[in-house]
Structure 1
Amino acid sequence: MTDAALRMSIAGVGHWHAPRHVEAFVAAGATVVAVQDDAAATAERWAVRLACAAEPTLDDLLERHDVDLVLAMPRHRGAPSVVGRLVEHGTPFVVEKPAAASAADLWPLVHAAEAAGRFAAVPLINRYSSFWEQVQRLRGEGLLDPTTVARFRIVNGSPDRYVEDDVGWVLDPDVSGGGALRNLGPHPVDAFLSLAAGEVSVLGAALSHRQHALPVEEHAVALLRDEAGLIGLVEVGYSGPDRDGTDHEWALTGAGSSVRELHDVVEVSTGSGTVTIASPSVMQRYQIFAADVVDRLRTGRPAPVTLREACRALDVIDRIYAAAATTTGTAVPALTPAAPGPNEGEIP
C-alpha cells in the first residue's frame, strides 16, 4: 500500500474494545469507511459517529468496500467462521483475541492463512510493554540466567460491566466459550510462552465462581512449567473492586535480578540497586499496536502477532480448563473439535 491514508472497515463494531481500537487506528492514520455488526442499531450508531457506511453482514462489508485492513471483533464461538471468511477474501485483517473458543477450531485457519500468505494479526497489546525491553537487556547482561519464576496477572473489575456495555454474551459460555480465562487468559499465557523453552506443561489449575455465581468462571489460576524448568503462575479474573480498574502485574525472577511491571511502571532490581522505568499505559499499547500494524502494511512486513501465536495460547488455555476440571471437578466449557489442518497432530 502507499503512504495515503489507510482505509479500514470494522466487523463486529459492537465489541467493548471498539472505542480503543478506533481511537488507536485513527491516530495511526487510518480512515474507517464502513462498519458492520449483527445488531443493526449498533452499526448505525457507529456509522453516524464515524461518518461512514453501515453494513448488515460481513459479506456485505467485504464485497461493497475496498479497504486496506479489516478489523474484526467477533463473538468467540463464531470467530472461526469470520476468520475463515477473511482468510478466503484476502484483505489484511486484525482479529480480536481469543479468535476462537478453542485451539481446535482455530488451528486449521492458522494453516490456511499461512499457506495463502495472509496478513492476520491479533492484538496481544501487552507485548508492547517496557517489561520486555528490560527482560531482553537483563538477559543480554546474563542477569536472568537461569530464570526461575514468572508471574503474570490481570484481574479486572466486575463482570457487570459487560451487561452494562450491551455485550452480555461474554458471560454466556455457549457464546464465549468460557469466562475470565478464555477472555483475558491469552495475554498472560502469551507472556509465559514468550519466555518458554520447548513444550509447556500445565501442572495444576483452579477456577472460581464464588463471588458472582456466574455460569462462566470469574477467576482462574494456573501453574505452568516449560521444558527448561521455568515455573509460571498465571492469574486472571473479573473480581476486582473497581468496575473499570485492573490489577496488572508482569514479574520475572532470575539468578541475578528481577523485573516487575505493576500497571505502567517497571521496577528492575539487581545487585547494584533498584531502578524504575515508565511503561506505556494500556491505551498507549493499543496505539503502539495500531501504528505498528499500519507501518507493517505500508512496508510489506508480516503481522506483529500472528494467528499461530494466538492459537498456541489457546492450546494452553484449553489444557488449563482440562486441568481445572481434573483437579477440582469444575465444569468447563465444551470444546468442539474442528477438522484437522494439513499437519494433523501438530501442536500449535
Structure 2
Amino acid sequence: MKIAIFDVSHWHFPLYLSPLGDPGIEVVGISDSEAFAGTRFAQQLNCKLFDSNEELLEEEFDFALVFSRHSRMAGLAERLIERGIPFLIEKPCGLDLQEVRRIRQLAEQRGVYVSVPFINRVSDWAARLSPAEGFTPEGFQHLSFRFVVGPVERYERNGCGWMLDKQQAGGGSLLNVGIHFIDLIATLTGAPITHVSAQARTYRPDVTVDEQAVLTCQNAAGQIGVIETGYLYPSTAEDQRDFAFSISHSTSYIRGYADQLYLKARDQAAGQSITVEYNTDAYYPVFLRRSWADLAEGRPPFAGLREAEHAMAVLEAAYRSAANGGAPQTVEHAP
C-alpha cells in the first residue's frame, strides 16, 4: 500500500512511525508546511519531501495521513475525498463544527473511508470497561476524567506554536485533550452528549486558547460526566502527564491512577487492583493498523468523521458555555 503523509511536523506524527515500516507499506512522500521536521523524517523514511501539500496531492497513493494545522485540515480532507482516496485524519479534523460536518457529509456522499484516531477506543484499559467485562452502557452512573498534559511551551519547542492561536487551532486543552474523553463517554454509555456547562482559563498573555478547562456534561440517557483538562503539568520524557479517572457503575466503582486500575464490586468487601498501560502514545500505532485492517476488510472505520462531528458539537457548546460564565448549553446534533 502506497502512503502519502501530509504535514509531518505535527507533534503526534512520530507516534505513527512504527506501522510505516510494516511489510507491504511504502511511503511515497511527505510534506511539511511548517518547514520544521520534514527533512529529518524524509531521511528516516527514505522518501521524498515535497515542497507543498499541493505537489504531494498530485502523486499516486492508496492511503493518506493528515496532520495539518486545524485551520487547514478540512480543505485538505475535501481534496482527498474528491479524489476518492481513503485516509486517517488527526482530530479535530477541522477548525469548527461547520467544517467537520461538511467533510463528513462529503465523505458519506462519496463513500470514502476516513478514520479519526480516538485512541482510547483501542486501549487496554477502556476494553476493561466494556460490556464484555460486565459494564453495560446503561449501568454507568458517573464518569470523571482528569488529563493534564505539558505546558504550552512544548508546542513551541516542537514547531507547533500555531496550537496556541485560536484562529489556527480552534481551541486549547479542552479541544486537544478533552475531545478524547468526550468520545469515550459517548462510547461507553452508548448515548450522545446533549447538555454541557464549562469553565476555561488562559494564563499566558500571548496565548489565545484555554490552558485549563472543566466540562460537565449530561447525555441523552441522563448520565453525568466531568472532564478536566490542562496544559499545566511540568512534564518530562519519563513523566508526561497527570491522568486519573473515577467511574461509578451499577455493578462496581472503578478508579484509574498511576499504572493501576482499581475495581471494587458492589457485592464485595475488598477491591482488586491490576496494572494497566495508561500511556496513550502506545495506542496510535494500534489505531492506524486497525484502520488499515478495517479498510482492507471493507468495514467502516472504528472511529470516523461522524464521531468527530459529535465531539466538535459538544466542544462548541462547551466553549459557548465558558464564554458565558458557565451557563448551560444544549449540544447541536446533526440529523
Change (3 A) 1:53 1:135: same
Shift of 1:254: 1.5
Partner of 1:161: 154
TM-score by length of 2: 0.89
Q: Deviations over 1:47-89 (max 9, x none)?
A: 122110111222321222x222100001011111011111111
Partner of 1:222: 215
182-191 vs 309-318, which moves further:
182-191
Aligned ranges for residues 305-320 of structure 1 at < 5 Å?
305-320=303-318
Higher RCO, Cα 8 Å, sep 6+: 1
Partner of 2:250: 255
| CA distance in structure 2 between the partners assigned to 1:70 and 1:114 by the alignment | 17
Partner of 1:347: 334
Which ranges in structure 2 are unaligned for 5 or more consecutive residues? none
How much identity, in percent, do the aligned residues show? 29
**CA contact 2:217–2:224 (8 Å) conserved in 1:** yes
Letter paired with 2:64 = V
Partner of 1:151: 144
Q: Does 1:71 align with 2:65?
A: yes
| CA distance in structure 1 between the partners assigned to 2:314 and 2:275 by the alignment | 31
3-state SS of 2:95 partner: coil
3-state SS of 1:135 partner: coil
Q: Does 1:26 align with 2:21?
A: yes
Partner of 2:94: 100
**CA contact 1:25–1:290 (8 Å) conserved in 2:** no
Q: Deviations over 1:213-261 (max 9, x none)?
A: 7322101101001132211001111011224511123432122302333
**CA contact 2:130–2:188 (8 Å) conserved in 1:** no
1:50 to 27, 45, 53: 45
3-state SS of 1:151 partner: strand
Change (3 A) 1:48 1:295: same
| CA distance in structure 2 between the partners assigned to 1:112 and 1:205 by the alignment | 31
1:134 to 124, 128, 137: 128
Q: Deviations over 1:162-188 (max 9, x none)?
A: 111111111111111121112222111
Partner of 1:84: 78
| CA distance in structure 1 between the partners assigned to 2:168 and 2:138 by the alignment | 43
TM-score by length of 1: 0.85
2:319 to 311, 318, 321: 321
1:234 to 227, 240, 245: 227
Shift of 1:291: 1.8
The size of the alignment, in residue pairs, is 326
1:177 to 144, 154, 170: 170
**CA contact 1:131–1:259 (8 Å) conserved in 2:** no
3-state SS of 2:195 partner: strand
Partner of 1:36: 31
Shift of 1:109: 1.1
Partner of 1:340: none
Partner of 1:333: none
| CA distance in structure 2 between the partners assigned to 1:199 and 1:191 by the alignment | 11
Letter paired with 1:113 = A
| CA distance in structure 1 between the partners assigned to 2:258 and 2:82 by the alignment | 39
Change (3 A) 1:145 1:104: closer
**CA contact 1:101–1:182 (8 Å) conserved in 2:** no
